[in-house]
Structure 1
Amino acid sequence: MKFRRKSDVDAAPEAVDESGSPDTESGPTGPYDVDDLPDDGVERVDLGSLVIAPEADRELRLQVDEKSGNVQAVVLAGPDGALELRAFAAPRGGDLWAEVRPQIAADMSRRGGTATEREGEFGPELVCQLTVKRPDGTTGTQPSRIIGVNGPRWLLRATLLGRPALEPEAAGTWIEALRRVAVRRGAHALPVGEALPLVMPENARRVDPPTP
């Protein structure tokens, strides 16, 4: 199931230095807690636990569970790849990402894939390869790059898919999109590791797959 906003809005690009890295001297950079979201003039879509800045050249999609109807993840999809975003409840002052990384790597291994840890823009991340079956019956390798960001009582897990996962030089604008995300934890108590609830925006419309 896929959803698209009725209209897309250009997101203001984040300042970068000559090396192509975000310019942190101009102010704080995200991902943000929603209470710390700067007045940067960027229009964002409120999806409950995630507040996303859409971009004109990327489609904003919501992954919805067919049985429950609950939104499970937010995806920004472009011609060369995608960025999947999920947020989870975390302990105050803890490092949930350090606990989750080995679990993700073990799950990838059980599924016949590989997960290599490396240092990235936000700290330790996982570069994964998984053999998958295509709709036409053939098999292929699905690359992914999984990034974790610890926030105040939340963990944001971002997964780059496609070319941005394979080529760091192709991931620059995707990382900028990630830095514009804000997370809303909420005041209610939740078990550690539970997914924070996502909601569908009022101005979204359903896009059904084409009829064969």
Structure 2
Amino acid sequence: MKFRRKAEPTQATDGPDPVADAPAAAPTGTGPFDESEVAGDGVERVDLGSLLVRPTPGRELRLQVDEPTGTVQAVMLAGPDGALEFQAFAAPRHGDLWSTVRPQIAADIAARGGTATEREGRFGTELVCQVPVQRPDGTQATQPSRIIGVNGDRWMLRASLLGRPALEPDGSGEWEDALAQVVVRRGTTAMPVGEPLPVVLPEQARRVN
């Protein structure tokens, strides 16, 4: 596992990578899961507070950390052909937060000069996006992505697929399997709807000088 501090090179923990060296995760069509659904199943997961991530062979777990605050800003599984970035948010107990925020996301992308169209996928309605970005050398490019939302018990999980799984949805089954293995720990604290659930660095993660 690696974690990146804001505006610094990637930092890594000592020892073997628990994601790259783990056994293959069994595909599932029923996740992502609430913590209550997997209690006592014996599966090894990386504990990030509100997110429990099952190691996936060939994909590296990366965390982007804000240096001044120590806040985890992004959680990502990265592989040679793409990446999966995800975050959980507080949601109503009985509601469809994804249907509410999906048009807001599409409108924001349009305001930035991009496009977002809906398609039906494994997890329901998702957005296929093309967003203009600026390369490090100053030239312009377009970044493709697929944004997926999953409603849970008082939480919503938002995920973005980048790279090949964004360009080839029909061939992204293994990436979708990885998303389906994510577990959300909502907790009992009252939170405003739409507020990100806190993500924390695991105990074994430390900066390597």
TM-score by length of 2: 0.87
Point out 4+ residue stretches in structure 1 off by more than 6 angstroms. none
How much does 1:13 deviate?
3.2
For 2:157, what is the secondary structure of its paired residue? strand
How much does 1:3 deviate?
4.8
| 8 Å CA contact 2:49, 2:198 repeated in 1 | yes
Amino acid at match of 2:128: V
Show the counterpart of 1:87.
Answer: 88
- Counterpart-to-counterpart distance in 2, 1:13 and 1:86: 20
Q: Which range moves more in the overlay, 57-66 or 137-146? A: 57-66
Show the counterpart of 2:189.
Answer: 188
Amino acid at match of 1:77: A
Amino acid at match of 1:62: L
For 1:55, what is the secondary structure of its paired residue? coil
- Counterpart-to-counterpart distance in 1, 2:148 and 2:23: 22
Show the counterpart of 2:139.
Answer: 138
Amino acid at match of 2:25: P
Q: 1:69 to 1:42 in 2, by over 3 A?
A: same
- Residues 58-78 of structure 1: CA deviation (Å, up to 9, x unaligned): 111112234432112210011
Show the counterpart of 1:10.
Answer: 22
Q: 1:159 to 1:205 in 2, by over 3 A?
A: same
Percentage identity across paired residues of the two chains: 65
- Counterpart-to-counterpart distance in 2, 1:107 and 1:58: 30
Show the counterpart of 1:98.
Answer: 99
| 8 Å CA contact 2:24, 2:57 repeated in 1 | no
Show the counterpart of 1:78.
Answer: 79
| 8 Å CA contact 1:85, 1:157 repeated in 2 | yes
Amino acid at match of 1:146: I
- Counterpart-to-counterpart distance in 2, 1:132 and 1:64: 22
TM-score by length of 1: 0.86
Amino acid at match of 1:13: A
How much does 1:148 deviate?
0.3
- Residues 178-199 of structure 1: CA deviation (Å, up to 9, x unaligned): 1111000000100000000000
Superposition pairs of residues 104-123 of structure 1, within 5 angstroms:
104-123=105-124
Show the counterpart of 1:155.
Answer: 156
Q: 1:83 to 1:207 in 2, by over 3 A?
A: farther
Q: 1:177 to 1:38 in 2, by over 3 A?
A: farther
The number of residue pairs the alignment matches comes to 197
- Counterpart-to-counterpart distance in 1, 2:207 and 2:140: 30
Q: Which range moves more in the overlay, 95-104 or 34-43? A: 34-43
| 8 Å CA contact 1:89, 1:193 repeated in 2 | yes
| 8 Å CA contact 1:12, 1:42 repeated in 2 | no
- Counterpart-to-counterpart distance in 1, 2:68 and 2:113: 28
| 8 Å CA contact 2:51, 2:182 repeated in 1 | yes
Q: 1:90 to 1:3 in 2, by over 3 A?
A: farther
- Residues 75-100 of structure 1: CA deviation (Å, up to 9, x unaligned): 00111110001000000111000000
| 8 Å CA contact 1:148, 1:157 repeated in 2 | yes
How much does 1:54 deviate?
2.0
